[in-house]
Amino acid sequence: MKIHLNLGKWSYELEQDEETGQVVVLRHVPLGLLQKAASYVKAEASGLVGSVPLPQVQARMETCAGCESREVDGGAWYCKSCGCPKWERSRLQVKWEMPAATCPLSKWPE
C-alpha cells in the first residue's frame, strides 16, 4: 500500500509491505518544488482557456519594469524572486499573458 505524506518542507511517498508491515520511503521531494510545479501548470492552463486584457498586461509590464527583482538576459525579462529556472516559458513577457500567473511579491495590480 502506497501512502503520500507531507511533513515540514518535504513530500514523501511511502510504501508499506503488507506481509511484514515494514514501511519504506520510495521517494521524497521538497514541498516547495511541488507547489511551484502545481502553480506553473495552473498558470499555463489558464492561458489555454482565457487571456489577460491588454491594459492588465501593460500594468504588469510597467510594474516589472520598475522592480528590483527584474533581470534582463538577451532581451528577455525574468523575475529573480519567482524561483523559476530561466527558460522560454518563464520569461516575464510570457507570464504577463497568463491569467493565473502571479507576482511572487504581490506587486502586480489586479
Interface with ligand SF4 (CB under 6 A): 63-64, 67, 69-70, 79, 81-82, 103-105, 107
| Complex with ligand SF4: residue 8 or 66, whichever CB lies closer | 66
| Complex with ligand SF4: residue 39 or 63, whichever CB lies closer | 63
* Least separation in angstroms between CB 63 and ligand SF4: 5
| Complex with ligand SF4: residue 67 or 98, whichever CB lies closer | 67
Exposed / middle / buried, residue 92 (Cβ in 10 Å: 0-12, 13-18, 19+): buried
